[in-house]
Chains A and B, each alone.
Chain A
Amino acid sequence: MESTTSQKEKLLTVFITFFKIGLFTFGGGYAMIPLIEYETVERHHWIESKDILDIFAIAEATPGVIAINTATFVGYRVAGFWGSLMATLGVVIPSFTIISLIALFFEEFQSLEWVGYAFKGVRAGVIVLILGAVVKMGKKGEYTPLTVLILILAFGLASFTDINVIYLLLGGAVTGLFYQLWLNRKISNGKKTGEDK
């Protein structure tokens, strides 16, 4: 009995958390990263900080809307299928409601000067948030010459070319797999020479 109540409470918390994330994410998928990191890792401790980067990596490399991918993934991690459903509904409902209202009053909305002023400010604020996410995630990174090279290449290509980020993620994955293959070879060669002696 107690466990069902706490499960229900957990699902409600997941819903409310992702509702907030959906309501305060302006300017696309990357703007959501700092909010998700704060709420799921630092505040609720649902996800370990070493796992959150993996979840972002998989969510971005998978087909579909990144924000929904991330919400579904985190929700599943926290509370299984129902958790993923609550997280996805939570993240979608704010924009669904707001856009439905805007569609009804589109012309009026476009002429709201003060909304425009507020969002000029928000756009500058979002840059601060994403910068904060870079700092936080960057601190947790594992730095070897290979990963630093990948990071610099990904940063440079994403900043200065129009390449679709999926190729960068795939490139990273393939490089990582070859590195693993090379490690395996080295280990098995090491074993062989060990046996020869």
Chain B
Amino acid sequence: MYLDLFITFFKIGLFTIGGGYAMIPLIQQEVVAHGWLTLLELTDFIAVAESTPGPFAVNIATFVGMEMGGLPGALVTTAAVVLPSFIIILFIAKAFTNFQQNKWVQGALYGMRPVVIGLIASAVVLLMSTGFIGEGVKIHSVGDFFASLQYLEIIIFIIGSFVYFRFKLHPIKLILISAGLGMLFFGVLPMFY
């Protein structure tokens, strides 16, 4: 069983290209087909993983390993999902140090740098559209749109932007502040109205 766990998560680590949620279908296919988790358990876990730190692939690997074989199982699956990245990047990092100034490498990077900036910018848009607009709301008019807005989240975003950019906060401080604001707005305030 450990070997099966290792091979499966090694495969998941290796064939995760482009990252993010692109690999959820692959994980779903493997984990559900092996009968390690049901689809419902997986969906529940994806929700939990969103509120725990760390890369999603590592989180799901550790979780399945723990469920299937306790701590040894978790060690096997986590190592398996990390190894492909580690090995491949080790070679690339070594080669890149030697070939960084090569004009073809520079040429490819010339085209890739704006893509990365565009991708990060699109992450902002996607996170805003899922975070600031209510889930499962059908929007037919401008009125529907304003009614579906999650005002408390938007207020936290505005306060966060102000303190982060104005005072050049450390990113970790901003995370702690926004966690505090979340508890204040969603936990403390509802007690008073």
Chain A residues packing against B (C-beta within 8 Å)? 20, 22-30, 32-35, 38, 53-54, 56-69, 72-73, 76-77, 81, 84, 88, 91-92, 94-96, 98-100, 102-104, 106, 109-110, 113-134, 137-138, 141-142, 147-148, 150-156, 158-159, 164-166, 168-169, 171-177, 179-181, 184
Main secondary structure of the interface of A (DSSP, over half): helix
Chain B residues packing against A (C-beta within 8 Å)? 13-22, 44, 48, 50-59, 62-63, 66-67, 71, 74, 78, 81-82, 84-86, 88-90, 92-94, 96-97, 100, 103-104, 106-128, 131, 152-154, 156-157, 160-161, 164-165, 170-172, 174-175, 177-183, 185-187
How far is A148 from B111 in the complex, measured between Cα atoms in Å?
Answer: 10
How far is A63 from B171 in the complex, measured between Cα atoms in Å?
Answer: 28
Known: A68-B86, A104-B66. A131 touches B153 (CB 8 A): no
**In the complex, which residues of chain B have a beta carbon less than 8 angstroms from the beta carbon of A150?**
111, 114-115, 118
**In the complex, which residues of chain A have a beta carbon less than 8 angstroms from the beta carbon of B182?**
117-122, 124
Contact A22 B53 (CB under 8 A): yes
Instruction: List the 8 shortest-distance A-B pairs measured between CB atoms, nearest first.
Output: A121-B182, A95-B54, A176-B111, A125-B178, A180-B107, A64-B85, A154-B118, A103-B66
How far is A24 from B55 in the complex, measured between Cα atoms in Å?
Answer: 11
**Interchain CB contact (< 8 A) of A177 among B63, B86, B107, B131:** B107
**In the complex, which residues of chain A have a beta carbon less than 8 angstroms from the beta carbon of B180?**
118, 121
Contact B22 A94 (CB under 8 A): no
Contact A27 B50 (CB under 8 A): yes
B166 → chain A, closest Cβ, in Å? 12
A103 → chain B, closest Cβ, in Å? 4
Contact A151 B174 (CB under 8 A): no
Contact B186 A126 (CB under 8 A): no
A74 → chain B, closest Cβ, in Å? 9
Contact B85 A72 (CB under 8 A): yes
Contact B187 A57 (CB under 8 A): no
How many residue pairs bridge A and B at CB < 8 Å?
Answer: 364
How far is A46 from B168 in the complex, measured between Cα atoms in Å?
Answer: 20
How far is A73 from B100 in the complex, measured between Cα atoms in Å?
Answer: 14
Contact B21 A127 (CB under 8 A): no
**In the complex, which residues of chain A have a beta carbon less than 8 angstroms from the beta carbon of B86?**
64, 68, 72, 84, 88
Contact B113 A129 (CB under 8 A): no
How far is A26 from B152 in the complex, measured between Cα atoms in Å?
Answer: 19
Contact A127 B53 (CB under 8 A): no
Known: A100-B71, A125-B177, A166-B18. A175 touches B63 (CB 8 A): no
A144 → chain B, closest Cβ, in Å? 9
A109 → chain B, closest Cβ, in Å? 7
Contact B111 A173 (CB under 8 A): yes
Contact A151 B52 (CB under 8 A): no
Known: A134-B124, A150-B115. A114 touches B54 (CB 8 A): no
How far is A173 from B55 in the complex, measured between Cα atoms in Å?
Answer: 26
Q: What are 8 pairs between A and B in contact, CB < 8 Å?
A: A29-B55, A81-B90, A121-B156, A123-B131, A125-B181, A154-B114, A171-B111, A172-B113
